[in-house]
Structure formats: C-alpha cells, structure tokens
C-alpha cells in the first residue's frame, strides 16, 4: 500500500518496541522467558512522494528497558526481580551504551506491504549490519521484528546459577505501531 509522503514519527506514544528473551540450560525451569519494553525511544520512517519508504531511523535509551512479563519459572516475577533484571541490563548487558539504527537500503516487495530494511545497528558499543522486514498494512499499522545475536555485538548473554541458567544468545526485537498517530 502507498504510505503518505513525509516523515512518520514513532515512539511510545503510538508504538511498542519490545525485546523477547528465552532461557536455556540445566536450570532453565528456574528462569523466565521475558518480554521487555523499551520505554524511551524515537523512530522515523521517511516516505517519498511516490509513497515508498526511503529511510528508517531509531534511537533508544538503553536505560529504559523494563520487564513487562515473565513466563515460566518456579515462581512469578516480583517487583524486586524486575528491578534486579533492569540493573543487570544497565550494568552488565548494555552497559548504558547507545542503541541506534540507521537504514542503508530499503527494498519494497511487489505486494506493496512488505519492506526489507537493511542498515547499521549500534548496540553495546559495536556497529554491525542487520536485516529485517517491516510490514505496513492498509490501516497504516506498522510491524516488524529482527533477531539480534548478542555475541555478534560483543555482548555476553546473561547467565545465572553458576552457568546452569542462560539467556539464549538470540533475542527477538519487535516493533508494532500505527503511522500517523
């Protein structure tokens, strides 16, 4: 579908940016699969006069990740658990370093809804290329996801219980929102 020309802004006011983690290891049953929302971020989708997306950008505050849900585990996540996870992300995983994405190439699928986005992701002090797909439907709803392999950006996936509980190296980053809101 053609998208209205101009700059479409995205952020917590009209979209959700989330990180989904899963667990593994001998003590995986003790941990939780997490849904973590990025609560402070801004993005843009630049659209040309022809209705085709021309660029995608995103900047996120690395200290704004907040656990929204945790499934599995021996017991439910409490507020203290969530605060501890937040502290671990800030101090050990992301180390409060910038999160930034800049597209370098966009390719539109013949159906008009799907856009393959290629660009550079700055994460934990490293810049690496990444590829993902965005979908914009007839209602101007935007959605997409990318798999980020933490070690490719020099990050060490979280481990606990003397290494018996581990977060998978691959985490899924999901964006869902509405253009023009």
The CATH H-level superfamily of 6-178 is Lipid/polyisoprenoid-binding, YceI-like (2.40.128.110)
What are the structural domain ranges in the chain?
6-178
CB contact at 8 A, 40 and 61: yes
Bridge partners (DSSP) of residue 124 are none
Identify the CA nearest to 46 among candidates 15, 10, 100, 16.
10
So what's the pLDDT on residue 1? 52
So what's the pLDDT on residue 156? 84
Distance CA 154, CA 148 (A): 11
Distance CA 94, CA 142 (A): 26
At residue 90, φ and ψ (nearest 5 deg) are -65, -45
β-strands 141-149, 159-160 pairing: unpaired
Divide the 181 residues of the chain into consecutive groups of 10 and give the mean pLDDT of each group.
82 96 75 91 92 92 93 84 88 89 94 90 95 89 94 83 75 92 50
Distance CA 139, CA 47 (A): 16
So what's the pLDDT on residue 89? 87
So what's the pLDDT on residue 51? 80
Residue 29 corresponds to which tokens in the numbers above? 């049953």
Write the pLDDT tens digit of every residue in 74-127: 888 888 888 988 898 888 888 899 999 999 999 999 877 899 999 999 999 999
């Amino acid at each position: 579908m053609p998208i209205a020309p101009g700059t479409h802004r995205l952020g917590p006011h009209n979209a959700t940016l989330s990180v989904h983690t899963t667990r593994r290891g001998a003590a995986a049953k003790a941990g939780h699969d997490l849904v973590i929302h990025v609560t402070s971020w801004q993005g843009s989708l630049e659209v040309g006069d022809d209705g085709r997306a021309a660029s995608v950008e995103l900047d996120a505050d690395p200290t704004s990740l907040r656990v929204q849900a945790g499934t599995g585990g021996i017991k439910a996540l409490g507020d203290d658990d969530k605060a501890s996870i937040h502290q671990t992300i800030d101090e050990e995983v992301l180390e409060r370093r910038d999160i930034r994405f800049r597209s370098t190439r966009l390719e539109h699928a013949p159906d008009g809804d799907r856009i393959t986005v290629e660009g550079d992701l700055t994460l934990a002090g490293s810049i690496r290329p990444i590829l993902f797909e965005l979908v914009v439907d007839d209602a101007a709803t935007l959605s997409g996801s990318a798999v980020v392999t933490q070690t490719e950006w020099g990050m060490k996936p979280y481990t606990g219980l003397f290494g018996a509980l581990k977060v998978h190296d691959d985490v899924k980053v999901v964006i869902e929102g509405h253009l023009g809101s």
